[in-house]
Amino acid sequence: MTTSLAAPSLYINRELAFLEFNRRVLEQAKKDTVPLLERLRFLCISSSNLDEFFEIRVAGLKQQEALGATHRGRDNLTPAEQLRRITERTRELVAEQYRVLNDVIVPRFAAEGIRFLRRDEWDKKQRQWLKRFFNHELEPILTPIGLDPAHPFPRVLNKSLSFIVTLDGKDAFGRSSGMAIVQAPRALPRVVRLPEGEGGEDGGRYQFVFLSSIIHAHVDELFPGMSASGCYQFRVTRNSDLFVDEEEVDDLLRAMEGELSSRRFGDAVRLELADECPRPVAQFLQGQFGLADADVVRCEGPVNLMRLMEIPDLVDRPDLKYPGFTPRISRRIQRAADMFAAIREGDVLLHHPFDSFAPVIDFLRQAASDPNVVAIRQTLYRTGADSAVVKALEDAAAAGKEVLVVIELRARFDEAANIELATNLQEVGAQVVYGVVGYKTHAKMSMVIRREGRKLARYVHLGTGNYHARTARVYTDYGLFTCDGDFGEDVQRVFKQLTTMGSARRLKKMLQSPFTLHDTILRHIEAEAERAKAGEPARVIAKMNALIEPSVIEALYQASQAGVSIDLVVRGMCALRPGMEGVSENIRVTSVIGRFLEHTRVFYFENGGEPRVYLSSADWMGRNFFDRVETCFPVEDDALRAAVIRDMELYLADSTAWHLRADGTYAQREAGAEHCVAQEALLQG
């Protein structure tokens, strides 16, 4: 019997696929091969990932459930069914996070002289120092609120650390509400390092105390004349997805500014509680936030593991971190007079972080100071604080060059920074636009227009990642420099689409969402299937962050049935099931989780022995194909194309990679004679 390629059994739910990805991240925290302080980072990242998952994905499902939605996706799960499965998986995941912290990381830290001191471990000297710290640094800025009719339950900020205190006795006015709320200001550190001279009887250079422990130990001092019978930390996670009806607003920037304030107090979706919090107190909090038992998570430790991310920066132990490295700069760039001369010699491909991001910054800096440069065009999605890229654009505008910047205001969780960025650029004379109503601008493009003799030359940079110098040190991304005329014309046309009205014109070399990318990818997959049916070699290699879009998955299934060899390197969510008899035996799905966050998007098609290789800003997801402005560009230089293919073969040979099984779970490769870690090999060059 032929299986329908639309059958729900062939598709993995995207939310559950994300939780599997987060489980793989957490596994890095358990590995002895990962330096100890880096293991804590992976634990923190898994916690941060889960926060965002609840803020956006779970919040969205809860809204659908509240509206009575019963629609089913390709996996045949309703919103309510998804939420039930998510609750089961996240409880297991959170329990494992705290087990790793308490049973693995903390004991190993202690063996290295890095200790987290519990209240019952403080000696006299430490208690005295911590009391002074509480009196001088904490108490003056803490605002306890007793709960009574005149003091209703306060508005608790999204993901902020708070305490619910149970009280005995009466205050100066004879009031006895029995409960109070204490919110810890975000300016306070969540982990306090004891000065070396206060290390206590056992000494120790790195002694840390959780802020929650300090407040708990001194909570009575916040309520004179009363006694705190209990003090329990909690944290509420709220819906953080912003909604702006772009068809109904006149000024997107102002609308975004107005909406941002609501993020801090959106509907509650999760309540994290100290494990020892009594059931009646927990039920009281649930009632205040309108949450059910399924929305409550008990924590055997600090309720926000992400705040431990500062520990590696506070501990000067290089032996417990990844070794430092110096990104490469090619000889051609080093010997060239400037970036324009280097690009004129031929296309330049950078693979970050193995190759330095400095040439990208130099490209814009030189453009800003070059009297022959007349204009700069730039897209910005995420840039980071004190961005050298932004500084170069500001300098160019101040120098009288025509600077056009397309800023995506709706880059999730960077909205406030991008609003400030847009304002600053406008103040120095740059033209700033926010893209196209209804479509996020996710394309990564920079173009410099330079007068050379009697003509204008276009120099282009296209990338798979953001113009963000800091993440370029920790994310893997490709960037291509070229002065090819067709590329220049294509990029010019895309910028015109973003800034003016008019119909889309077909590009000469590049593919673009929402117009040509999806259809062209499908055609390439189908072409490989036709070659396989004709008995010719046929292969697809695709590397991306997520693979969700159903019609692409169906095309891959058809290609597998035709005999195409398909290798997919998918870091995160993958809805495709490999290894299904009669459907996907020829498909292998690999996930590489390592020191650097895999972020490159690479699409390879055998093409009858003349391989086509594309780099892109887009994953194979519906939003990237249909709801965003994305670019995808071919690597045409033979040597550069061969280099990208070699990189992909390294990832496929990675002996630490995870492999997706047909049931939706992942297994790590068993150690064999050949040891290959792709990122390490790329670092070594």
Q: Are 653 and 364 in contact (CB under 8 A)?
A: no
Measured CA distances, 110 to 105, 204, 207, 591, 677 (Å): 9, 10, 9, 32, 30
> Quick check: is 468 catalytic?
no
**Four-point Cα dihedral 434, 550, 569, 579, nearest 10:** 170
**Which residues, 6+ apart, have CB-to-CB distance to 14 below 8 Å?**
73, 75, 546, 548, 573, 575
Measured CA distances, 405 to 169, 358, 450, 532, 549 (Å): 62, 20, 17, 45, 30
Query: Taken in order 391, 394, 398, 403, is the CA torsion positive or negative?
Result: positive
Q: Measure the CA–CA gap between 40 and 308, rounded to whole angstroms.
A: 8
Q: Are 383 and 405 in contact (CB under 8 A)?
A: no
> 553: closest CA among 623, 632, 620?
620
Three-class SS of 604-660: EECHHHCCEEEEECCCECHHHHHCEEEEEEECCCHHHHHHHHHHHHHHHHCCCCEEE
Given the residues 216, 351, 352, 442, select the one marked as catalytic.
Answer: 442
Q: Measure the CA–CA gap between 447 and 10, rounded to whole angstroms.
A: 43
| Farthest CA pair distance, the chain | 90
Q: Measure the CA–CA gap between 619 and 616, rounded to whole angstroms.
A: 8
- Burial-class residue 490 by CB neighbours within 10 Å (0-12, 13-18, 19+): buried
> 615: closest CA among 470, 481, 468, 493?
481
Tokens of 364: 């814009």
Neighbours of 171 (CB within 10 A): 16
**Strand-strand pairing, 373-380 and 445-452:** antiparallel
ω into 195 cis (within 30 of 0): no
What type of residue sits at position 157?
Answer: L
> 275: closest CA among 98, 122, 154?
98
Tokens of 575: 């809805």
Q: Measure the CA–CA gap between 490 and 504, rounded to whole angstroms.
A: 11
**Strand-strand pairing, 227-238 and 268-274:** antiparallel
Bridge partners for 377 per DSSP: 404, 447
> How many residues belong to the chain?
685
**What is the end-to-end Cα distance of the chain in Å, rounded?**
50
Q: Measure the CA–CA gap between 178 and 166, rounded to whole angstroms.
A: 6
Measured CA distances, 301 to 94, 116, 220, 567, 626 (Å): 11, 11, 22, 41, 43
- Run of H or E including 95: helix 79-99
**Which residues, 6+ apart, have CB-to-CB distance to 71 below 8 Å?**
64, 78, 79
E-strand ranges in 3-66 read none
Q: Measure the CA–CA gap between 362 and 333, rounded to whole angstroms.
A: 10
- Quickly list H helices, 323-377: 331-335, 339-344, 358-369
Bridge partners for 206 per DSSP: 114
Residue 113 zone, left/alpha/beta (φ > 0; ψ -120 to 50; rest) = left
Neighbours of 500 (CB within 10 A): 8
- Kindly list the catalytic residues: 442
